[in-house]
A = this chain, B = another copy of it.
């Protein structure tokens, strides 16, 4: 049974039944016959054995940039040691044309070219993102922006998904605070669905659906440039969106990173206090690359935070529909009223 499989390049496939794109990524595989179910382990490295700690840079995949550019760095952007996509793959010109993806055949396949980067948010093992001050969190956000600006130069990259996994059960394989950026040769399904939905709203009302969010009942906190809400149809209990007040279709237009850093810090601290430091994910929802802003008057970027409080079962997997036991206005009220100590 223990057949060693030949190395295969990563590949994206779209299923003609579910219409979903899947990334096949053998670099992240074990041998299939060794693939056994086991409990998730909470990685419990200390600063001497953690590759993300300052001083252990040689244990990491190559660095893309660091801030500041000196040995005593505050953050680093590096390649993922186990990338889901390959930056070394030859990308066949024309293979991702609409003409191919519309064929509706079993062989809707795109080579797995792309970038999978890690943003190490702090040099210190025990520091979490919400421990940083607003300016330092702002530096992390600016690092995302700077990396997206580099990736824009690659015509075959269609979307950059920025995300953070905090806690083993939220998908973090290392506890040292970090986030990830996966640059894809396709526009992923959730992005297409979101843009279609926002476009429909815009065509019917003449307005951007996220500029329209005004409900006081859903509001948690606000700053000069951003609001935080529990969305009207939150899929998850205590799901939170942080939205720029002024219309902006791309995250990389961000010009008030410290203001966003402050609100993100406040919301993460409230969530941790109220929900007992839950595992969580955050995701930046922005516009595809290679599309001009004037083509997307209806697209408005936002940051989504999802505490991992409930598991996903067969109903959600089967229907794509979520069950949320808490109405958004109730969750917003609870989060609005969390008392955050001013120090610490």
A45 at the interface (CB under 8 A from B): no
Determine which residue in A37, A182, A186, A323 has the highest number of CB atoms from chain B within 10 A of its CB, and name it.
A37
Chain B residues contacting A172 (CB-CB under 8 Å) are 313
Q: Which residue of B lies closest to A103 (CB)?
A: B204
- A93 on the interface (CB 8 Å rule)? no
Which residues from chain B contact A317 at a C-beta distance below 8 Å? 163, 281, 283, 304, 306
A270 within 8 A of B: no
Asked if B104 contacts A200 (CB within 8 A), the reply is yes
- Taken together, the copies of this chain in the complex come to 2
Interface residue A344 (Cβ < 8 Å from any Cβ of B) = no
Q: Report chain B residues within 8 Å CB of A235.
A: 18, 20, 22
- Distance in angstroms from A317 CB to nearest chain B CB is 5
A17 touches B197 (CB 8 A): yes
B residues less than 8 Å from A19 (CB atoms)? 193-194, 196-197
Q: Which residues of B contact A328 (CB under 8 A)?
A: 24
Contact B22 A106 (CB under 8 A): no
Which of B21, B205, B233 makes the CB contact (< 8 A) with A21?
Answer: B233
> With the chains together, A304 CA to B186 CA distance in Å?
26
Asked whether B104 lies within 8 Å of A205 as measured between CB atoms, the reply is yes
Q: How far is the CA of A307 from the CA of B170 in the complex (A)?
A: 18
Instruction: Report whether B170 and A321 are in contact in the complex, using a CB–CB cutoff of 8 Å.
Output: no
Q: Provide the bound-state CA to CA distance between A17 and B234, in Å.
A: 11
Bound complex: CA A8 to CA B191 (Å): 32
B residues in contact with A30, CB < 8 Å: 325
| 14 A–B contacts, CB within 8 A, in A order | A1-B334, A17-B197, A17-B209, A18-B193, A18-B194, A19-B193, A20-B235, A25-B324, A26-B325, A40-B311, A84-B323, A104-B200, A172-B313, A281-B317
